[in-house]
Structure 1
Amino acid sequence: MEKWKMYMEIYQMKQQGFKVRRIARKLGVSRTTVYKYLEKSPEEMSEWIASTRRRTRKLDQYELLIHTWLSEHPDLSGSQVQDWLQERYPDLSVGESTVRSYVKELREKYDIPKVLSPRSYEAIPELPMGKQIQVDFGQAKQKTGDGQTQKVYAICFVLSHSRYKYAEWLDRPFTTRDVIRAHEHAFEYFGGIPVEMVYDQDALIVVSENGGDIILTEEFQKYHRERKFQIYVCRKADPESKGKVENSVKFIKQNFAKNRVFRNIDHWNEQCLNWLKRTGNGKVHNTIKKKPAEVFSVEKKHLKPITKKIVISPMNSSIARAVRKDNTVLYESNRYSVPLGTYDKRKTVYVFVTEEKIIQIREATDGPVLAEHQLCHGKGELIQDTQHRRDRSKGVTSYMATVSEAFKDEDKAMEYLKEVQSKYPRYIRDQLKIILDKVKGVSSNVRDEALNECMERGFYSATEFKDVVSYLEKQHQSSKKATDIDIKQIKDGGKFDYDSMKPEVRDLDLYLKVLEGAVK
């Protein structure tokens, strides 16, 4: 009956002279549907409706199952129903809109209204002047002059009482250093500092928040100690607790950024400041019914004055990242490779983006570069340096021969490596790479001594071999220091004690004590 009613309404409106576009808009259907109905005569329409009644739909065989789900879980969505069906019937191919329509029909047929859990709100009094600033982030995609798309990132500050706003943009993701520098610019723009700052649980600012115990990131913690403002962190998945800045971010994106052509980031920020003066802070606010700029002229006197200016250099901005198990670092939804063996679940590396759009991954903010890659603008890509991959061009035997060449007694080294292979057959290439990387930077004496110690003690593991080499290196360095002191004494005219040239005899139990963790 619904289809026939729709057909009659379309037919009558067409006879009255309405155009197809107007009919579609008035009835809430697509123009394609209107054209399809108009092509049919009343007889053809009647036959078509009758045929649809007899037609078996794909989901009819699952009606009882879906009805059971909806009865037990009235808040179940159409997309969840589709997921549950595909989980039980992997070969079922059905569109999400089809499932949604079918679920809607079943709700009407069996009178199962969808249960909603709306959040209750209450009006709260306005905060005192100078009390609070709310902070939030946003991002937008803008068209450039050459027709390309540029992603831009914003941080927004809003004074809770006057709704006076400040925003700053970057053409790359923010780092903690960028956030701190934006804070300084905002305080300078406002002419003072509030009592309290409100944040989301953003990884650039907050490491964790558990029942009121807030752990800030190391860099932001140092900044917080200097500025000494109070911090309020919103609960997870509760953006509405800082609704003033949420609305402001939306306002900036919809009113300032939307449809605006991006030229460069400096020009973009200049335009944004002009927009704030003209519109963002210059027009009457819907809630307070006043212009934020006018209210701010009074609120400004209640902010704490800035007694000390903190200069944050824009250079060396980095983002801390964990190394994944596959020896990659995630940045902007892409994976960038690091050398094999870098992974450690407790290890943090630092990602830098240079002006030339080169990704640099370092062990420390001022440490050596682990990896360099060209910045990828796609999503879900793996950017991998061939030098970071296992050497699969040669077999394991050939690889073992290459590693054994680093030792004086190659046969003995090969015997040791075969034992390692028997212990770690699946990971032998990783084991060989760790050993080879370790012996490259040490003297031949240390290599051979480490080999002998490992074979005597039964340490057939690359990690244990690496630990023994490190221990022996320290011992040799200590001995060299003592020798250098004696040589200096001779040069200064002192007597040299030749008995002191006897080699030190070390108790082998020291090795066991140092390496007891590896033995376990």
Structure 2
Amino acid sequence: MIKLDDWAEIRHLHSTGKHSKREIARLVGVSRGTVDRALAVDRSPTYQREPTGSSFDAFAGQLRVLLAATPTMPAATAAERVGWSGSPSLFRAKIAELRPEYAVPDPADRLVHPPGFQIQCDLWFPHEDLPLGHDQVAAPPVLVMTSTFSGFIQARMLPSRTTPDLLGGMWSLLQEAEAVPARLTWDNETGIGRGKLTEPAAAFAGTLGTQIKLLKARDPESKGMVERMNRFFRSRFMSGRAFTSPDDFNQQLAGWLPIANNRLSRSRRGRPGDLVRIDRAAMRGLPPMAPEVMFRNSVRLPRDYYVRAFSNDYSVDPAMIGRVVDVAASLERVTVHHDGVLIAEHRRKWARQLTVTDPAHVLRAAELRAQFQAQRARRPAVSAVVEMASLARYDELFSVDIDAAPTVLAVAS
């Protein structure tokens, strides 16, 4: 076979018109026949080997039957069914060639993201635990929201993935943006809805005048931007950092996000921090009334004057014992009201199964207990009165007449 360099040199010398074929053969060091073959073809010479078959051919018929019945059968399962004992990589390559003949393709369209239309939302869980206080550690969820047009990132760590915390996290980030997109995209997150929005999430979307779009299962392409941001956080933000608390995590995250949003996006031909102005100009403003995003519960205050919110017990003014109180919990505070009057307020704890006590409530309970005991001591002694039944009542019931003095009868001797 002629070498590629010789083929190129032969065609170059012939194109000049100054050399004969015999002279070209002498200059290149090849035969006259090689010069003729080089000039006869216009494409560069390539080595082509005649197919000689493969050890896979003996199993192709059985595999076609299996793929016709189950197009998505894994290659390892198919190899086990037909008794393949050769190279696994060869078998996978051959299966990949046959599978398109039986499996219906699932095409993914290219999406166009106009300004102000969509923000993709997702939860990211740090791969390392951080201290929550009270000797507890965990990896709380981080709500990540990415604008599809500008690529602008917003994020905040949340105490839990419950519905009130998810809605509260979205509302806090939308307040920072001072704008609401036409659509918020979520996957099947339980706190938002699985197939159907939860009632609080539907009310949240209605108050904002936006749509919360729930994606189908196993459809990562529809929110690939925010998925890539999760990997970006792990490699660029978490690396080499240490955190003392969730508040410290959020502070460091807030300081790093402007740097992340200043990166150059080649596909958008700009920086997210600059493009977000165009993005938010196309969004609607915040609603005049804030949506309901807090945890709320009404309970009659028990004798131990504690109420529960997110697995923790918080003390209340014991003067409200026996009365119905309203418990509300945001991302930062837990408040208790009675008839619209604030009677208790605590900073929300991230740790679980805690008893949070206000010292003022303990002192107030001691005062009320002393008053109760003093009031009980001043009560007059009550003597027990036992009613005595009259036996004459039984004589009246049975019509028995008994004289007061017995009659003496004389006995004859």
Per the normalisation by structure 2, the TM-score is 0.49
More helix by share: 1
Which has the larger Rg? 2
